[in-house]
A and B are shown apart, each in its own frame.
Chain A
Amino acid sequence: MGTALQIKNLHVEVNNKLILKGLSLNIEHGEMAAIMGPNGSGKSTLASVLAGKEGYNVTKGYIKYLGNDLLKMPPEDRAAAGVFLAFQYPVEIPGVATSTFVRTSLNAQKRNRGEAELDAMQFLKLAREKAKQLEMSEDFFQRAVNVGFSGGEKKRAEVFQMSMLEPTLAILDETDSGLDIDALKIVAEGVNRLRDDKLSGIVITHYQRLLDYLQPDTIHILAEGKIVKTGDKSLALLLEEKGYQGIDGAN
């Protein structure tokens, strides 16, 4: 085992406003951690900082991933190093077919890592297999990335991309929001299929149902820019019962 991701005393400003105020978090190889917390507490901010979005000013603290200083790497290098973010609000890219997008992404990562790229046939074979597992129709290969997708389709497409790119650190930002019960199950199974001792996960969610499927190893409560409580599955159940008011420091 050993630590995969190490976040220490992270302070982050956005537009001169301090959002993360000394956040510390360790994630082991193969660990699935859930992050819960009130709206506006900084969950998506953490996800964005991990993935390397511009405009997030780290004023204190550090992030190490697999021993590397993550904050020094541009987003595409982080992606090639295995960081994947399933966006809370996936972005539309008009005119770019989803399959083209994923193939371009996958091959860019492989190039970056010095691996052989997939040709069109190899890619298609893999994509069909993954789409089938997620019970997605192949029609969406030709549809422009996220354009005209329903909320649920967007989330499912994010998980499809994740399963194609095979990350080692998956960050799921409210991937369960907007999914109906059946879709939620399929998506959760998709995530579980990727789980092995190399995949670490950060699952941001408000709902117990996803956690029932994913069975996270740890649960963290994020409030006002800090982790205020860490526990096991029972913490989520307590939360479900009492709300954030029931948790010290989280209101």
Chain B
Amino acid sequence: MAVSSDTISAVEKATKKYKYGFITDIETEFAPKGLNEDIVKFISKKNDEPSWLLEWRLKAYRQWLKMEKEEPKWANIHFPEIDFQEAYYYAAPKSDEDKPKSLDEIDPEILNTYNKLGIPIKEQEMLAGIVGSGNVAVDAVFDSVSVATTFKSKLSELGIIFCPISEAVKKHPDLIKKYLGSVIPQTDNFYSALNSAVYSDGSFVYIPEGVKCPMDLSTYFRINAAETGQFERTLIVADKGSYVSYLEGCTAPMRDENQLHAAVVELVALEDAEIKYSTVQNWYPGDENGKGGIYNFVTKRGACRGNNSKISWTQVETGSAITWKYPSVILQGDNSIGEFYSVAISNKKQQADTGTKMVHIGKNTKSTIISKGISAGYGQQTYRGLVRMQAGAENATNFSQCDSLLIGKNCGGHTVPYIDSRNPTAEVAHEATTSKISDEQLFYVQQRGLDPEEAVALIVNGFAKEVLKKLPMEFAVEAQKLLGVSLEGSVG
């Protein structure tokens, strides 16, 4: 996702406070407001789904109804009860009625939005945007429907499948049947059940045996329509000995009301396979008074199914009013590796309860957790992590490092590590620090010529460096800028 610095600065100028806060004026087709079995059927029909998938959705929906009173309350986040009947569960750009056959048919307004976001959606632009190394193929989710997938042909030569999940259901039903819900069952939790019932689209990736995907694959999520929950679903399967790096970026326009985003991401790594999943999340965080913003309640989990497989989650979370998110790894295969690298910012009235779960099942499994939490303004942040060593996890090791940085007096940082070890040969190491940006540091940096906001951005980037350097180059550049933008107004 090569966002050019020109684009960033142009957009920054256009909307100083939240640089992605524009709304695209296109006709949108909604399903009726509210949630019931008819809506589930409507969505399934819109996607022209086979009956097994409709049944699968309905099972999730019925389970969700039973769970409704069990909306998770254990997280350290506070918000008024969500009225699930007051939202729209399906919104597709109108022009999608008669499915676009090529990029030329896509509503120019949509392309314009992507241009503003700096997404090189046209292949020509893609190519023009490539400087030397990193190629990126983009599958853009505009509200609920994947609008276009670039670079498809180049990937298909290698047998790589990268397409909207709705399309995969039709073209690759065996893969979908085998893997959908295999890491996160429909009824895993309240929000995953909701997602399973009403997800409208998302991305599917399959990397065949022995193939190293030659470019980063990317989905760019964007919530456009008002009062629309976005429930996308991502499924990535890396077959034996394959490799893929996947980038997920998100933005949403500024709106007064809160919008719910409840995504599900499932990763499956077979023997000797590796998946790198990177996220830069900058959903609209709400204003200074906590009005508006995205509720980001996401379930992400990867399964290292084969021996010697590896899954890394890297996330930079700067947006959303509320974030509730624990990208996890189930380490089933012997010698498999799970990693979680996270930078999260809570400024203004943002709340984040985020962390990871590493569940060690196989022998010699290894996990690393590096979490950097930054709180400013009235932001509240909790790192919540679980490391479990199952009885069979001989010689498994975990290393966790959770650092919190506080800016100002009104914010909070909390660390809640759970360790559950049932194997005496397993080793778990946990380190945690809490620090503040000191007046001495700020003065030192200002004395060298930086204004207070630049000074904070520099210090914060240093604090987060261990994680930022795990991001692919073009993502890292954007992430660094985002950290600065997200902390505007946090000092002085």
Contact = CB atoms under 8 A, between A and B. Distances in A.
Interface of A: 51-55, 74-76, 78-80, 84-85, 87, 90-96, 101-102, 104-106, 108-109, 112, 144-145, 161, 165
Interface stretch (B200-208, B313-321, B412-420, B461-469): B461-469
Given A76-B451, A108-B454, 8 more contacts: A51-B447, A74-B446, A75-B446, A76-B449, A95-B463, A95-B466, A96-B459, A105-B449
Nearest to B443: A53
Given A79-B447, A85-B447, A104-B458, A91 B441 contact: yes
Contacts of B438: 91
Nearest to A108: B449
A104, A106, A112, most chain B CB atoms within 10 A? A104
A94, A109, A165, most chain B CB atoms within 10 A? A94
A93 B449 contact: no
B445 interface: yes
B449 A165 contact: yes
Contact of B462 (A79, A87, A93): A93
Given A54-B439, A95-B465, A165 B448 contact: yes
A101 B447 CA distance: 12
Contacts of A102: 448
Contacts of B445: 93, 101, 105
A75 B447 contact: yes
Contacts of A101: 445, 448, 458
Nearest to B437: A93
A93 B441 contact: yes
Nearest to B454: A108
B81 interface: no
B84 interface: no
Contacts of A52: 446-447
13 contacts: A51-B443, A76-B446, A76-B449, A91-B441, A93-B445, A95-B461, A95-B463, A96-B458, A96-B459, A102-B448, A161-B448, A165-B448, A165-B449
A106 B462 CA distance: 18
Given A93-B459, A95-B464, A144-B462, A104 B450 contact: yes
A74 B458 contact: no
B70 interface: no
B444 interface: yes
Contacts of B451: 74, 76, 108
Contacts of A144: 462
A165 B440 CA distance: 20
A108 B451 CA distance: 8
Question: How large, as a class, is the contact surface on chain B?
Answer: 20 to 34
B358 to A, nearest CB: 24
B439, B444, B448, most chain A CB atoms within 10 A? B448
Contact of B449 (A90, A95, A112): A112
Contact of B461 (A90, A96, A165): A96
A109 B450 CA distance: 7
A80 B446 contact: no
B327 to A, nearest CB: 23
A80 to B, nearest CB: 6
A105 B448 contact: yes
Contacts of A78: 447
Given A93-B458, A94-B462, A96-B458, A79 B444 contact: no
Nearest to A96: B462
Contacts of A76: 446, 449-452
Contacts of A165: 448-449
Given A95-B461, A95-B463, A96-B462, A105 B450 contact: yes
B164 to A, nearest CB: 39
A76, A79, A90, A161, most chain B CB atoms within 10 A? A76
A128 B71 CA distance: 59
Contacts of B458: 93, 96, 101, 104
Contacts of A96: 458-459, 461-462, 465
B396 to A, nearest CB: 29
Given A54-B439, A95-B464, A165-B449, A90 B459 contact: no
Interface string B465-490: 11000000000000000000000000
A93 B444 CA distance: 9
A90 B462 contact: no
B461 to A, nearest CB: 7
B474 to A, nearest CB: 17
Nearest to B438: A91
A94 B463 CA distance: 6
Contacts of B446: 52, 74-76, 79
A94 B440 CA distance: 13
Nearest to B435: A94
A102 B445 CA distance: 10
A96 B462 CA distance: 5
A73 B462 CA distance: 27
B491 to A, nearest CB: 11
A204 to B, nearest CB: 15
